[in-house]
Amino acid sequence: MRLCSRLRTMLLGMAVLAAAPVYSATIEVAVGGLSFIPADVTINAGDSIHWTGLGAFHNVAEVDDAMDNTWNNGFRSGEVGDVPEFTQVFNTPGIYYYVCEPHAAADMRGSIMVNASAPSVTPWGMAVMAALLLAAAAVVVRRSRRFSVSKVVAGCLGAALLASAPAMGATIEVPVSGFTFSPEDVVINVGDAIHWTGLDGGFHTVAEVDDDKALVWNGGFHSEPIFADEYTFTFNTPGLYYYICEPHGDFGMRGTVMVNAGPQATTLSTGGVVAMIVLVLATGGFVLYRRRQFAFAVIR
């Protein structure tokens, strides 16, 4: 019975942590001379970019690719000199390119990789978890006189186990449609794999190249050139990867894979560890206090 009770408490801790809130970050990008600093940023869906130092000479305008200089009607800070700073929230995963329109020819540009994965549980989330566990402890104490600190520890252990569990690698499907990889641009995490299908017995290939203009295989990942209908490759190193279909690279049959360096295992932050310790100490003191009250009531 005691083992089952502690197991239930451990599962409660895991459920509370799973429901703990995550937060959206705001990344600062400053203008330095004729450069955005940093020029290339990786964020999570829901995060924001805050550009500063636009002044009277710069702006921010989304463009189609890393070489384009013309606004594509996406996000834009306005005309030059309209605002000294600008904030944009990115809710859709993908690769975004932008320029300063007056200085695009001077290569004043940047890129934003928006990752689809959610950020790790934050100290605030851990604090909420602690509050919920304390509330659960209070309910148990009121309903039963049989409550032990070991149950609280079991709940904390369950939360810690969930927080430190390794993330499982996902497999993303990229089929060939006509002369196009669909989708062309994919965002994944380290350890995830891409599964290309519809290669049509080698009529299409998957070959890594150096950049979004290259047409020659660079010795990286490569599908079998003969009789291959599908190909799978696991990405274990973060970075931006370009690839083409070798027979049809001249027709623009190419794609990108952005591999995010996000953690393979979500670990507790310093704030989370502190919240756990405070939770155990506070709950232990709370339980001892209620037991003493109960003892006094029995004596009387």
Q: Tell me the domains of the chain and their CATH numbers.
A: 26-115 (2.60.40.420), 171-260 (2.60.40.420)
- The Cα 1–Cα 63 span in angstroms is 63
Q: What is the pLDDT along the chain (300 residues), one digit of tens a residue?
A: 555 555 565 555 555 555 555 567 888 988 988 999 888 888 888 899 999 999 889 999 999 988 899 999 999 999 998 899 999 999 988 889 999 999 999 999 999 988 875 545 555 555 666 666 666 666 555 555 555 556 555 655 655 555 555 556 788 899 998 899 988 888 788 889 999 999 988 799 999 999 888 999 999 999 987 778 999 999 999 888 999 999 999 999 999 988 876 544 444 444 555 555 566 566 656 655 566 665 555 555
Give the DSSP H or E segment for 108.
none
Residue 78 is predicted with a pLDDT of 94
User: Both tokens of residue 90?
Assistant: 């990115």
Place of tokens 């895991």: 14
| Structural contact between residues 94 and 111, judged by C-beta atoms closer than 8 angstroms | no
| Structural contact between residues 115 and 187, judged by C-beta atoms closer than 8 angstroms | yes
| Structural contact between residues 75 and 113, judged by C-beta atoms closer than 8 angstroms | no
User: Both tokens of residue 194?
Assistant: 């891409």
| Structural contact between residues 190 and 263, judged by C-beta atoms closer than 8 angstroms | no
Residue 60 is predicted with a pLDDT of 97
